[in-house]
């Protein structure tokens, strides 16, 4: 039996790959259309959608610098990160929609 799928369709996407897409981020903005409706604490992917940046940008700001501090305040929870909305707002302006 021949497989007619494209190479990108050959493998199922992981949850992280799906959450990193613009479509998933846009879906969150449809779910929470105003900034004050977003959760008080978010994971990396929700924070990236809120700030309208890639999850990699958020991860880079979570890494500790030479001074032992991360650029973005956060909590490590069960192998992931939780970030407060007020810390995101203090870190950088929320991009307009």
Tokens 């909305």, residue? 85
- By the 10 Å C-beta count (0-12 exposed, 13-18 middle, 19+ buried), 40 is classed as exposed
Max Cα–Cα distance, the chain, nearest Å: 58
DSSP string for 31-93 = HS-SGGGS-SEE-HHHHHHHHTS-HHHHHHHHSB-TTS-BSS--EEETTEEEEEHHHHHHHSP
Residue 58 lies inside a defined structural domain of this protein: yes
Domain interval for residue 45: 39-63+73-97
Residue 92 lies in a domain: yes
For the stretch 2-28, pLDDT in tens is 556 555 555 668 988 999 999 999 999
pLDDT on residue 6:
58
Question: pTM for this one?
Answer: 0.78
28 in a domain, yes or no? no
CATH number, position 45: 1.10.10
Q: What is the pLDDT of residue 73?
A: 86
pLDDT at 76 (0 to 100): 86
Q: Is residue 1 part of a domain?
A: no
Q: What are the pLDDT digits (tens) for 31-77? A: 999 999 999 999 999 999 999 999 999 999 888 888 888 888 888 88
Percent of all residues in the chain with a pLDDT value above 90, rounded to a whole number: 51
Residue 93 has what pLDDT?
52
> 10 Å Cβ neighbour count for 81?
18
For residue 7, tell me if it sits in a domain. no
Residue 15 within any structural domain of the chain: no
**Total number of domains constituting the chain:** 1
Taking all residues of the chain, what is their mean pLDDT, rounded to a whole number?
84
Tell me the C-alpha distance between 83 and 76, whole Å.
Answer: 9
CA distance 48 to 18: 13
């Amino acid at each position: 039996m021949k497989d007619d799928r494209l190479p990108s369709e050959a493998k199922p996407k992981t949850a992280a790959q799906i959450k990193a897409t613009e479509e998933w981020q846009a879906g969150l903005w449809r779910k929470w259309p105003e900034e004050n409706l977003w959760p008080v604490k978010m994971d990396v992917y929700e924070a990236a959608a809120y700030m309208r940046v890639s999850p990699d940008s958020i991860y880079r700001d979570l890494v500790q610098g030479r001074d032992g501090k991360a650029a973005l305040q956060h909590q490590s929870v069960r192998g992931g990160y939780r970030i407060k909305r007020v810390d995101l707002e203090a870190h950088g302006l929320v991009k307009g929609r």
